[in-house]
Chains A and B, each alone.
Chain A
Amino acid sequence: MIDKNTIKRLKEGDDQAFELLYYKYFRRLCAFTNKYLNDYETTQEVVQEVFYSIWKNRTDLKVEKSFISYLFQLAKNKSLNIIKHSEVEDKYISVIKETYLQGDFIDSHDSLLAKEIEIKTQSIIESLPEQCRKIYLLSRQEGKKHREIAEELDISVKTVETQIGRALKVFRKELKEYLTSVLLTII
């Protein structure tokens, strides 16, 4: 449904084209942005800002081939700006800062087929070993803390962590081709 024409229509102010692009990229863009911001609320706000500015500046859009790259670049810039100015007190932010403000990541966006990614991750989750998947979903879907999961399943917190760690390894391996960033190593 989305083709080269869609971007052209967006530039002309076609709000249906805009809606198509929004629905296609919104969640994917949120996942990408959250790796920087580590906060669901702020991430959504930033992504909204990105789409808002796309719409506001639609007539000046100089992108045809790499609309997606443009989207991601906007999100990245806004995110880096936010983490640069954020308080070091938040321990999680300090880790993010060290990784992304001091490393130089180049973003490539070849396989950004949003729907395919969700289908792929769905099947990855379903393929996880039983206990591993159960524990992972209790944490993500039901928002249960590791302590609660351990109590509920009558296992140790360490086991919970190990199982989620297992899932983490599988995601990284299976989703490698969909990841965007490559670290530029200066030789």
Chain B
Amino acid sequence: MKEEIDYNTLLVRFFERTADEADIKHLSEWINSSEENKRIFNEYNESYQLADITANGWLYNTDNNWKKLKVRIQDEGMIPLVKMVTNRQMIWWRSVAVIAIIMTVAALGWMFKGNQQLSHYSGVVSVVAPLGQKSQVVLQDGSKVWLNSGSKLEYVYSAETNQRVATLEGEAFFDVAKDSNTPFIVETPDVVLKVYGTRFNVLAYAEEQIVETTLEEGSLGVQIKTTGEELLMKPGQQVIFNKQSKLMELSDVNLYKHVAWKNGKLHFDNDTFIEVVKKLERWYGVEIHLDESLHLSARYTMIISSESVSEVLDLMKITTPMRYEIRNGQIEIIADK
């Protein structure tokens, strides 16, 4: 005797991905038994997908995907830094960012000597993003790196260990070119990351208590250098390493919030006054002094893109009784009575 299987339950199991072999078989039978059922399935399918994009906030993030597409389209004009420098003829680019990097690299004293050509696979590439600026570079292997202000990156391909090694101090977003034969290692003072082809953000400022890694795409292993403990990450996850407790914590996060900086947006999400000030200092490359009379209990949620630092401070003034003065690149914030 056949049991009447409620097709509605089969559909739920199908879309929610809890269907087993038997369910699939019954669903197939039901669908194939009439054109009408095919149509019903399609209607359920389409409406499920529609509801899903609304219920599932992080699904199909337009901003992230748009940035990716833009990079891909612009890539056709983007040439790798090292390749260019190893050519005997200097080729001048329109991109200001690349020029800034060339100058910074030259300033660090890394130049090629006379007629000697640097080979692709030896030599260290050094990139610095000074305070108040961001930098962007394409490495020899095609990986792209965005550096946040006050950060430094060194990259080298090590032939003995067959590894691509990036040493980072500060914050960077990596889009690592896929090469499953050659692991890409990111070294920071406290943790090391091992990747094969993926997009992720690393926050490792020397003066911060924590090291924060956020994975956008692909897979990533985070290892504590002193203990050897390792965590494997999935997209949408974040690992926070506490330098004091030497513990790692894994959580799911809102990706956009943590990688917004690379798209030129500074993101505050219920941040305390102190956190806001610290981020502003780094973003704008200024020093901010806080008067002790300030009442610091307010929290701030906002997204900044092209505003000047005084525009941001004016925004804060709306909800916080404060005054500020800018003198010689230094800002002083005082309570407003």
Binds B, one of A1-9, A44-52, A77-85: A44-52
B48 at the interface (CB under 8 A from A): yes
Chain A hits for B60, CB < 8 A: 26-27, 30-31, 40, 43-44, 47
Contacts of A40 in B (CB 8 A): 59-60
For residue A103, which residue of chain B has the nearest CB? B38
CB-CB nearest in chain B for A25: B62
In the bound complex, do residue B39 and residue A178 qualify as a contact, i.e. CB atoms below 8 Å apart? no
Type the 1/0 row for A1-38, where 1 means its CB is closer than 8 Å to any CB of B: 00000000000000000010011001110111011000
Q: Are the CB atoms of A141 and B55 closer together than 8 Å? A: yes
Contacting pair B14 A181 (CB below 8 A)? no
Chain B residue with minimal CB distance to A19? B66
In the complex with contacts A26-B65, A140-B56, A141-B57, A179-B35 CB distance below 8 A: no
Q: Does B294 contact A (CB under 8 A)?
A: no
- Chain A hits for B65, CB < 8 A: 26, 44, 47-48
Q: Would you list which residues of chain A between 53 and 88 have a CB under 8 Å from chain B?
A: 55
Complex interface: chain A residues within 8 A of B50 (CB): 31, 117, 121, 171, 175, 178
Please indicate the chain A residues that have their CB under 8 angstroms from the CB of B56 in the complex.
Answer: 140-141
Q: Is the CB of A183 within 8 A of B38?
A: yes
Query: Is B68 positioned at the interface, with any CB of A under 8 Å from its CB?
Result: yes
Asked if A164 meets B69 with Cβ closer than 8 Å, knowing A35-B42, A91-B24, A171-B47, the reply is no
Question: How would you classify the secondary structure of chain A's contact residues: helix, strand, loop or mixed?
Answer: helix
Establish whether residues A179 and B15, one from each chain, have CB atoms under 8 Å apart when the complex forms. no
A-B contact count (CB 8 A): 151
Within 8 A of A (CB), among B232-256: none
For A174, what are the chain B residues with a Cβ–Cβ distance below 8 Å?
A: 47
Q: Considering only CB atoms, which chain B residue lies closest to A183 in the complex? A: B39
Indicate with 1 or 0, residue by residue over A147-164, a CB within 8 angstroms of chain B CB atoms.
Answer: 000000000000001101
Please tell me if the beta carbons of A125 and B54 are within 8 angstroms of each other in the complex: yes
The complex places the Cα of A28 from the Cα of B60 at a distance, in Å, of 10
Partner of A32, one of B11, B44, B49, B59: B49
Contact partners of A30 in chain B: CB under 8 A: 53, 59-60
Establish whether residues B42 and A181, one from each chain, have CB atoms under 8 Å apart when the complex forms: yes
* Interface-facing stretch out of B26-34, B104-112, B301-309: B26-34
User: Which chain A residue shows the least CB distance to B27?
Assistant: A95
The distance from the CB of A47 to the nearest CB of chain B, in whole angstroms, is 8
Q: Which residues of B contact A (CB under 8 A)?
A: 6, 8-9, 11-19, 21, 24, 27-28, 31-32, 35, 38-39, 41-57, 59-60, 62, 65-66, 68-69, 72-73
